[in-house]
Amino acid sequence: MNTVSLSLTSVRELNEQLRGVSDDGSAPAWRVTDPKGAHAVAAGLTGPVQVQIDGHVGYYCAGMNQHAAITVDGHCGTGVAENMMSGIVRIRGNASQSAGASGHGGMLVIEGNAGPRCGISMKGIDIVVGGKTGHMSGFMAQSGNLVICGDAGNDLGDSIYEAVIYVGGSAASLGADCVEKEMTPKHRSRLQDLLSRAGMEQDLDRFRRFGSARRLYHFHVDHADSY
């Protein structure tokens, strides 16, 4: 395992090293120490590298991730795994606002709590939050799955499209065009798969499913006050 201390190496130099996948497609494991809240750590990775970050990170950690497996043993700031394409990002602490924003694929696991707008404009990513989320989580979520094992804040799923939200606790309120839907055997199976992949054991009977009522896809004067 290669070890890099951010007290001795800049984030730019670290990210350049992490992007260097060998010719045979293999990549060594890396350990990053002393992040001390640095921004954009392990951002823009495109190979199957494994990265362990020991400590808290700032904004946009693991942004635009492709194929890499990144674990943060601490908390993270705004926009972790923003625009993620594939791979897995795991946060062992809490995440600030806009976690997984615009994510297209892969899985983001937040073992603690997530702030407001978790999963904003998600486009295929799977997000599993072990605790609660803040207001407007799943805002304008287009596709993918958002699993919230705890409570969800106000305006859950506001202006949601075809993403699916599972909540194990209570939702303070639902946003525009977001409604509760039946938890079918197919959705229970999908939820179990998501939790298993995230390494979390939960009672499936606690969870409810939410999604789009599909009233806001096209403007209609009868729904004008919902926009």
The predicted-structure confidence for 120-145, as pLDDT tens digits, reads as follows 999 999 999 999 999 999 999 999 99
Q: How far is CA 217 from CA 140, 160, 202, 210, in A?
A: 11, 10, 34, 17
Work out the average pLDDT over 10-27.
Answer: 80
Rounded to whole angstroms, the Cα distance separating 132 from 170 reads 9
All domains of the chain in start order, with CATH = 2-226 (2.160.20.60)
Q: Residue 216 — pLDDT band, cuts 50, 70, 90?
A: confident
Of 25-34, 59-68, 132-141, 201-210, minimum mean pLDDT range: 25-34
pTM above the 0.85 mark?
yes
Measure the CA angle with vertex 129, ends 207 and 86; round to 5°: 115
Rounded to whole angstroms, the Cα distance separating 112 from 199 reads 13
The predicted-structure confidence for 37-67, as pLDDT tens digits, reads as follows 999 999 999 999 999 999 999 999 999 999 9
Rounded to whole angstroms, the Cα distance separating 206 from 183 reads 11
Residues sharing a CB contact under 8 Å with residue 188, sequence separation 6 or more, in sequence order? 204
Tell me what pLDDT residue 215 has: 84
